[in-house]
Amino acid sequence: MTETFSIGEAMATPGRVIRRHPMAVFVWGFLMMGFSLLAVALMFGTLADLPLTDGAEPPPEMFGKLMAVQGLSMLLNVGQAVLAVVIWAATMRATLMIGRPDRTFFLRAGMDELRLVVVGLALFVGAYIAVIILVLLGAALVATLWQANEAAAMIGGFVLVLGLIALVVVAMARLSLIAPATLILKRFAFVEGWALGRGRTLPLLGLLVCTWLVYLVVYFVLAFVVIVALFASGVLADITAQSPPATLGELFPSPPVLATVAGLMLVPGGFVYGAVMTLLSAPFASACRQLLDGPSGAMFAAATSPVATSAGDAADTMV
């Protein structure tokens, strides 16, 4: 019988991380939320003079501002992706070090993060190319069926779309151990992560589904709370009470309301954001750790021995 991991243990891990390291969770979300707010302020602030009324001519310098915003948007997207990888690594590192204090909230800027960037890019590009190829093959098949029977082509297209979605979900589950294995083994672990998932597709798929279900529940509860808060705080009333805006800058609410919204997003919103990021990454780091600590991890014993792990952690701390 194939050795597996405990889904219950993996799903309980985010709660342990949040309870034992609440300040780290807050800092992770605060950084992401703060970066997002800064990006919005920079982009919309640059285009505050953009006219919105019918027939209004934009100022001569607006074209240059639009070009600058496009370049700024690209740089901000890259910066946000890098920050997300750093925090992704921090959430997994905290999962593997629950209860151990860390002065930098498990945040590093070292080889672990660089390897995760490469892993993330490789998985994304590989999946993107694979999906494009499958879509082209499916389109060719549907086009061939269409010439013979339109009803069969429509049914076949529907089945192919469902099959593609199912294939993507299964692939996500099957590849989900590569990133945590890379962090734990402190080397690129494409082979090891894939090997750990062999024969465990259903448990990994179950873990993925459980994670998504919890995420959806949290998402809808938070959406409800935010909507109620917007009505109760008067933010929506403040926006609707304004006259039709002449420029993009006039779409923003009054400064006191804007400051209140920003404060709510940064403080309670930052903690919630960090908790959600922990929820999405910690279960798979826990599952990978369970498998590596079991008989299946014997082949990686040299890489995961206490000496090797301590040396790797020391090297990361020095960065």
**Which backbone phi and psi does 55 adopt, to 5 degrees?**
80, -5
Asked if residue 91 has pLDDT above 90, the reply is: yes
pTM of the model: 0.82
**Structure tokens, 233:** 């705080």
User: Is the residue at 1 inside a domain?
Assistant: no
Alpha helices in the chain (DSSP H): 7-20, 22-46, 62-96, 111-148, 150-175, 178-185, 190-197, 201-233, 235-241, 255-266, 268-293, 301-304, 306-318
Determine the pLDDT at residue 314.
Answer: 46
Confidence of residue 248 (pLDDT cuts 50, 70, 90): low
Number of other residues whose CB lies within 10 A of the CB of residue 166: 11
Which one-letter DSSP state was computed for residue 104?
Answer: T
Q: Is 233's pLDDT higher than 60?
A: yes
Residue 239 has a pLDDT of 62
Confidence of residue 257 (pLDDT cuts 50, 70, 90): confident
Please compute the mean of the pLDDT values over residues 166-191 and round it to a whole number. Answer: 93
126: closest CA among 174, 198, 59?
174
Is 237's pLDDT higher than 80? no
Q: Does residue 45 form part of some domain? A: yes
Residue 52, CB half-sphere, CA atoms under 13 Å: how many? Answer: 12
Q: Left (φ > 0), alpha (ψ -120 to 50) or beta: where does 217 sit?
A: alpha
Least confident of 4-13, 20-29, 43-52, 267-276: 43-52
Residue 38's domain comprises 7-318
Q: What is the pLDDT of residue 152?
A: 85
Q: Is 2 a member of any domain?
A: no
Q: How far is CA 13 from the centre of its chain?
A: 18
Distances (CA, A) of 77 to 46, 72, 161: 17, 9, 30
For the chain, what is the mean pLDDT? 84
What are the tens digits of pLDDT across the range 264-317?
888 888 999 999 999 999 999 999 999 988 776 666 555 444 444 444 444 444
Does 145 map to a domain? yes
Q: How far is 14 from 280, CA to CA, in rounded Å?
A: 8
Q: Indicate whether 220 belongs to any domain.
A: yes
Give me the pLDDT at residue 4, please.
79
**Residues ≥6 apart with Cβ < 8 Å to 20:** 98, 99
DSSP state of 3: -
Q: Is residue 247 classed as helix, strand or coil in its secondary structure? A: strand
Helix (H, G, I), strand (E, B) or coil at 245: coil
**Which of 162-166, 195-199, 243-247 shows the lowest per-residue confidence on average (mean pLDDT)?**
243-247
**pLDDT tens, residue by residue, 127-138:** 999 999 999 999
Number of domains in the chain: 1
Give yes or no for residue 220 having a pLDDT over 80. yes
The answer to whether residue 168 scores a pLDDT higher than 50 is: yes
Q: 256 falls in which pLDDT band (50, 70, 90)? A: confident
At 61 the pLDDT is 73
Per the domain annotation, does 83 fall within a domain?
yes
Asked which of 24-28, 180-184, 260-264, 305-309 is least confident by mean pLDDT, the reply is 305-309
Q: pLDDT-based confidence at 319, cuts 50/70/90?
A: very low
Residues with Cβ within 8 Å of 210's Cβ and at least 6 positions away in sequence, in order, are: 7, 11, 283
pLDDT band at 47, cuts 50/70/90? confident
- 234-249 average pLDDT score: 65
